Every structure is written in C-alpha cells, then in structure tokens.
Amino acid sequence: MAFTHGKAATFWITDAVPSLRNITTYLDSTGLTRSADLAETSTLGSTYKSFVAGLIDGKIPLSGLWDPTVDGYLTGILLLSKAFEYFPAGLGTGNVKEAGNAILTSYEISTGLDGAATFSAELQIDGAVIRTVL
C-alpha cells in the first residue's frame, strides 16, 4: 500500500484569461467529494427499502492564505464553469489526476486582528470528473 502525505497535493484551476493556474502555494486544504443521488423504489408490502441509482454530484473545497494574485484568479471566475486538475498525491509518475470542470459557487475572505488573511471557496463539479494515472 502506498500512502502519501497531504502536503504533496497539487491543485490547478483555469482563470478568466483563460490560463490553467497552479494555486497550490496559496492553499492549506483542498479535496474532492462525490455523492450519488438515490431514488427510492419501495412499494407497498415491502419489508426493506429499495433504490435505483441516480446522478453523481461533487464539490471541491478550497482554503488557504489570501493574496491579491489568488484573489484575482478566484474573483474573476465566480459562477463560471472552468477546468480544474487535482493531484491528491502530487505530480509524480504513477499518481492520480482528477480533472474536469467546476463552477466557483462561493468565495470568502477572512481577516482578524491576530492572524493572517485567509480565504475559503467551494467549487461545484460541472459534468464528469475523469480519473487518470500519470
């Protein structure tokens, strides 16, 4: 089994120019969540529920240190569908790459008296996510 440290993760997003930008150096956390819709198909007299699979959904959370550069990238793509590439174990040969399109649905900047300026954002997956191995 090959485990990896989270610090190796890499994330790229297409900005408004459009250019694919590596925003990894601004992030302290990201990921990729997937969920599937289920439609219940149970009928009268059933003892157990039954289901049929529906559509797959997904989100990408982003958080990190705020900077005018990453702010420009993210502010410029709010509510736009843009290409992304996510490498959970980094860019090495044999590592997984998740790629597709996503819509930036939220972007928040946080500042406080006793800490660094930070941001958090969420991308909604738009279509299929393609998993490949480098």
Q: What is the CATH number of the domain that holds 24?
A: 2.40.10
Tens-digit pLDDT profile for residues 9-51: 999 999 988 899 999 999 999 999 999 999 999 999 999 999 9
- ω into 68 cis (within 30 of 0): no
Mean pLDDT computed over 49-78: 96
Q: Is residue 84 part of a domain?
A: yes
Separation in Å, CA 106 to CA 7, 79, 121: 24, 8, 5
Q: Is residue 109 part of a domain?
A: yes
Provide φ and ψ at 68, rounded to 5°: -60, -30
- pLDDT higher than threshold 90 for residue 2: no
- pLDDT higher than threshold 70 for residue 108: yes
Q: How many domains does the chain have?
A: 1
Residue pair 30/22 in contact (Cβ under 8 Å)? The answer is no
Q: Is residue 80 part of a domain?
A: yes
Amino acid in position 31: G
